């Protein structure tokens, strides 16, 4: 008998979680994996395109090439290229013969518009970092710590029950105390459950998360409008007519009225425009999926932690509308599942509980570990019959 109790004590000691040492903040993931992917793509892709635009400019020299008259010198031709690039205005005549102009400024503004897009896409990230991360960090540290502590308390409770059973000479006294403790709910530690229930009535985290994704959709829509309104108008125009007869050159007769120029950077402009549309179109379903996750509970995570005493948010049907801070916290608990040491233990116990022959007698980790330690989860039938025979 002592050997069996010693084996049970070793088993329970091994089931205890080790105490954490060192800062736990470094290991926390304060962004969901899909949100991090959206951030890297939405911010990093425009910066990549900026580098592509600047690399093309440095490798090929001037972004335009003008066809100057043959009597122009090299310096005059360079001046024409520089002047036409500075103005970047296309001169043409309409059907009535009147002169009209069209600005080609999107070509010149391409690198700066990409930088502005990267900055705009980073604004939702800054909003999340400063408005939600401090509160989310404290919530996660407290909840992760309490979940692991609740598991350890349940194991220590079984150790104490085993010790009392060994020291008790009368088994009836032990089982009477155990039934009384369960009836009076001594095994429950309701602090964490009440804290999570309070988070269902809080909406600061979920509002910030919704605002972050709404801003991403807004800036993506603005990108579509900018590309469609400004880039599409000059998307296929490779050549334009430039006028340099301005200022002191206005009255010069040997200078032609219009000089034809060619945009050598048109291919880069087209690649950047098409790539931007394609990438941000692919990001929209991901952002929408992130929003739809707030419309349902992660019940698998909750069902596993139902093994803990007084953690019965599901069985008591305490979950209401999922659009609240508790659902956001559950999403981040799932993302930080590696920080929850108790999760793997409880997952194993849940799997074993589902295959146990006495499933109806096993509700919590206390009941299951009691059974594994060699104690009955409830009062043995022969003791119950004995009590009935003594009190007919």
Q: What is the pLDDT of residue 14?
A: 55
Q: What is the pLDDT of residue 390?
A: 45
Q: What is the pLDDT of residue 392?
A: 44
**What contacts 312, CB < 8 A, 6 or more positions away?**
193, 306, 318
Q: What percent of the chain has pLDDT over 90?
A: 24
Q: What is the pLDDT of residue 360?
A: 47
Q: What is the pLDDT of residue 388?
A: 43
Q: What is the pLDDT of residue 264?
A: 81
Task: Please tell me what DSSP assigns to residue 229.
Answer: I
Reported as a single tens digit per residue, the pLDDT across 49-104 is: 888 877 777 776 677 777 777 777 777 777 777 778 777 777 776 666 667 777 78
Phi and psi at residue 171, to the nearest 5° = -65, -25
Query: Contact at 8 Å (CB) between 219 and 233?
Result: no
Give residue 247's region: left, alpha or beta (phi > 0; psi -120 to 50). left
Nearest alpha-carbon partner for 80 in 296, 212, 230, 252? 252
Task: Please tell me what DSSP assigns to residue 236.
Answer: S
- The domain spans of the chain are 10-373
Q: What is the pLDDT of residue 251?
A: 58
Residues of the chain predicted below pLDDT 70: 1-26, 60-61, 93-98, 160-162, 165-190, 245-254, 309-318, 352-392
Q: Give the predicted TM-score (pTM) of the model.
A: 0.80
Q: What is the pLDDT of residue 382?
A: 46
The residue whose two tokens read 């069996």 is: 4
d(CA 303, CA 305): 5
Q: What is the pLDDT of residue 391?
A: 45
């Amino acid at each position: 008998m002592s050997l069996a109790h010693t084996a049970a004590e070793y088993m329970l000691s091994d089931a205890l979680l080790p105490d954490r040492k060192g800062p736990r903040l470094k290991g926390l993931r304060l962004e969901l994996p899909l949100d991090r992917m959206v951030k890297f793509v939405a911010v990093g892709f425009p910066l990549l395109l900026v580098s592509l635009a600047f690399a093309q400019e440095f490798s090929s020299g001037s972004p335009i090439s003008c066809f100057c008259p043959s009597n122009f010198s090299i310096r005059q031709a360079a001046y024409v290229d520089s002047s036409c690039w500075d103005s970047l205005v296309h001169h043409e005549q309409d059907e009535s013969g009147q002169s009209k102009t069209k600005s080609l400024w999107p070509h010149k503004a391409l690198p700066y518009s990409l930088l502005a897009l990267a900055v705009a896409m980073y604004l939702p990230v800054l909003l999340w970092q400063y408005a939600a991360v401090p509160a989310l960090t404290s919530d996660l540290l407290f909840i992760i710590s309490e979940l692991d502590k609740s598991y350890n308390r349940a194991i220590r409770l079984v150790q104490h029950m085993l010790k009392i059973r060994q020291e008790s000479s009368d088994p009836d006294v032990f089982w009477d105390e155990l039934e009384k403790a369960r009836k009076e709910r001594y095994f429950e530690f309701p602090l964490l459950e009440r804290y999570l229930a309070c988070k269902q009535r809080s909406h600061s985290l979920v509002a910030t998360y919704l605002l972050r994704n709404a801003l991403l959709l807004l800036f993506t829509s603005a990108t579509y409008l900018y590309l469609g309104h400004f880039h599409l108008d000059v998307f296929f125009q490779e050549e334009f007519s430039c006028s340099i007869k301005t200022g002191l050159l206005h009255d010069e007769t040997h200078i032609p009225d219009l000089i034809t120029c060619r945009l050598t950077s048109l291919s880069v402009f087209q690649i950047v425009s098409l790539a931007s549309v394609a990438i941000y179109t692919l990001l929209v379903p991901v952002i929408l999926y992130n929003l739809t996750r707030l419309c349902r509970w992660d019940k698998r995570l909750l069902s596993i932690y139902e093994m803990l005493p007084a953690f019965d948010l599901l069985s008591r049907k305490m979950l209401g509308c999922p659009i609240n801070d508790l659902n956001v916290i559950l999403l981040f608990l799932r993302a930080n599942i590696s920080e929850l040491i108790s999760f793997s233990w409880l997952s194993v116990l849940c799997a074993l509980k589902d295959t146990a022959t006495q499933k109806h007698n096993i509700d919590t980790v206390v009941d299951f570990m009691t059974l594994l330690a060699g104690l009955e989860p409830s009062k043995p039938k022969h003791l119950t019959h004995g009590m009935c025979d003594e009190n007919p």
